[in-house]
């Protein structure tokens, strides 16, 4: 019946399913907890690049993915007949001091080459109406950054997949090729089997404000992402916690994020908090994505290690995995191979 069975209905599993379906494969998805039940069911959704310098495989993959993202999410939305929240409105970052200003100017030149004229990284001194304070009076504006709404985007993918005949199950017998995209669960399972840590979970907490800045550039200030969603909400995140007891509880650590957000934009003190959310990012030992044959079963596949950029790299990861699984084409960068990431 099925050519491909995907375990895990997070952004990796869903995106790979979408790419497989587009190539004609029959796909089923198994997830006992449902769509977006793990790290992917959140509220932030920044699709933002690394700085254009010290270029490496991860930065190139992320760049390619961000460029692909617009078409990817448009196709999903057309099929699903619902929004994913995708908007490419760029990103604004305050420049703290003269040293940072000098670096930004160097990066502006780097971006011209590394971003191949497809996006820009500029120093601007005329701030748009919604901007964080900047000590130097200058900001970085990059036109590559976009955002989606993670939970909504996962459900748009589910609906798009269903229009193409993909079935979703809490449990079912695996058929055809099996791909494990089960996030932190698999990193822990593999660690247990190898009797040493090959990856772990890093908890993150975020808050969603009723604060309508739809259409504005997202902001990165005081190490916080401010993501103005299409629906008039503003996501602010995130914490980064290696030690935690409850993976999905929000607590005082988030309160400090909220206070820092209010220090950047004092108006937020009067905005209603619509939602708080916590999840656990899958982080491989190498901090890189882990793509290829599964280390516990050579007949199966793995896509894991999205860590802090899982949504940003999902379109590229989907292409790489569909090439590998369906066409036997190996385009997995060495740094993301299972051996270099886990073993
Ligand atoms: C607070 C926070 C903010 C973030 N912000 C951003 C951001 O702004 N931009 C960005 O790009 N990324 C961001 N991330 C990271 C991103 O969310 C993750 O990289 C991504 O969601 C990982 O996706 P995944 O599909 O690999 O794993 P998950 O989303 O965790 O999905 C794994 C799925 O596997 C299922 N599962 C578990 N065991 C089994 C099993 N045995 N069989 C079948 N299914 C199973 C689970 O139920 C789950 O649904 C953020 C993460 C957090 C926590």
Average pLDDT, the chain: 97
pLDDT band at 58 (very low <50, low <70, confident <90, very high): confident
Ligand 1 pocket test: pick from 72, 149, 182, 244 the residue with the most ligand atoms within 8 Å of its Cβ. 182
Structure tokens at 3: 């050519």
Query: What DSSP element (H or E) covers 99?
Result: helix 98-114
pLDDT at position 75? 98
The CA distance from 8 to 180, in Å, is 7
Ligand 1 pocket test: pick from 39, 86, 180 the residue with the most ligand atoms within 8 Å of its Cβ. 39
The answer, yes or no, to whether residue 343 has pLDDT greater than 80, is no
Q: Where are the domains of the chain?
A: 4-87+146-194+287-342, 91-143, 199-284
The answer, yes or no, to whether residue 151 has pLDDT greater than 90, is yes
pLDDT at position 310? 98
Match domain 199-284 to its CATH number in 3.40.50.300, 1.10.3720.10, 3.30.9.10, 1.10.510.10. Answer: 3.30.9.10
Ligand 1 close to Cβ of residue 201 (< 6 A): no
Q: What percent of the chain has pLDDT over 90?
A: 97
Kindly state the average pLDDT of the residues 244-261. Answer: 97
For ligand 1, atom 52, the nearest C-alpha belongs to: 204
Task: Tell me how far the alpha carbon of residue 113 lies from the centroid of ligand 1, in angstroms.
Answer: 32
Q: What percent of the chain has pLDDT over 70?
A: 100
Task: Report CA Rg, the chain.
Answer: 20
Ligand 1 close to Cβ of residue 7 (< 6 A): yes
- CA 274 to mean position of chain CA atoms: 22
pLDDT at position 262? 98
pLDDT at position 340? 85
Ligand 1 close to Cβ of residue 308 (< 6 A): yes
The CA distance from 212 to 232, in Å, is 4
The answer, yes or no, to whether residue 274 has pLDDT greater than 90, is yes
CATH class label, 4-87+146-194+287-342: alpha beta
For ligand 1, atom 18, the nearest C-alpha belongs to: 310
Cβ-based neighbour number of residue 253 at 10 Å = 16
Beta bridge partners of 169: 30
pTM: 0.98
Among candidate residues 242, 281, 237, the one with its CA nearest the CA of residue 258:
237
Ligand 1 close to Cβ of residue 20 (< 6 A): no
For 275-296, write each residue's pLDDT tens digit.
999 999 999 999 999 999 999 9
The answer, yes or no, to whether residue 341 has pLDDT greater than 90, is no
Ligand 1 close to Cβ of residue 30 (< 6 A): yes
Ligand 1 close to Cβ of residue 302 (< 6 A): no
pLDDT at position 256? 96
Ligand 1 close to Cβ of residue 199 (< 6 A): no
For 201-236, write each residue's pLDDT tens digit.
999 999 999 999 999 999 999 999 999 999 999 999
Ligand 1 close to Cβ of residue 5 (< 6 A): no
Cβ-based neighbour number of residue 3 at 10 Å = 17
pLDDT at position 342? 80
pLDDT at position 53? 94
């Amino acid at each position: 019946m099925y050519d491909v069975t995907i375990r895990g209905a997070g952004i990796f599993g869903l995106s790979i399913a979408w790419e497989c379906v587009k190539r004609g494969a029959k796909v089923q998805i198994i997830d006992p907890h449902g769509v977006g039940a793990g790290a992917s069911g959140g509220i932030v959704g920044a699709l933002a690049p690394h700085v254009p310098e010290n270029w490496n495989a991860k930065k190139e993959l992320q760049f390619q993915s961000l460029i692909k993202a617009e078409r990817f999410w448009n196709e999903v939305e057309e099929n699903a007949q619902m929004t994913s929240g995708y908007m490419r409105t760029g990103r604004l970052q305050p420049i703290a001091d003269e040293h940072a200003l000098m670096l930004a100017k160097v990066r502006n030149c780097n971006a011209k080459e590394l971003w191949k004229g497809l996006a820009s990284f500029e120093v601007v001194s005329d701030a748009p109406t919604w901007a964080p304070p900047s000590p130097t009076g200058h900001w970085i504006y990059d036109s590559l950054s976009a955002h989606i709404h993670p939970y909504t985007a996962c459900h748009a993918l589910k609906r798009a997949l269903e229009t193409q005949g993909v079935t979703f199950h809490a449990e079912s017998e695996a058929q055809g090729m099996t791909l494990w995209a089960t996030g932190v669960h698999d990193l822990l399972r593999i660690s247990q089997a190898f009797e040493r840590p090959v990856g772990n979970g890093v908890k993150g907490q975020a808050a969603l404000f009723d604060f309508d800045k739809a259409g504005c550039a997202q902001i990165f200030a005081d190490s916080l992402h401010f993501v103005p969603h299409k629906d008039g909400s503003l996501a602010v995140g995130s914490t980064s916690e290696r030690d935690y007891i409850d993976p999905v509880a929000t607590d005082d650590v988030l309160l400090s994020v909220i206070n820092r957000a209010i220090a950047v934009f004092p108006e937020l003190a009067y905005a209603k908090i619509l939602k708080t959310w916590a999840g656990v990012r899958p982080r491989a030992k190498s901090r890189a994505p882990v793509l290829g044959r599964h280390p516990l079963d050579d007949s199966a596949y793995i896509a894991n290690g999205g860590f802090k950029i899982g949504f940003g790299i999902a379109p590229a990861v989907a292409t790489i995995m569909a090439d590998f699984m369906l066409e036997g084409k190996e385009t997995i960068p060495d740094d993301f191979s299972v051996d270099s990431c886990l073993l």
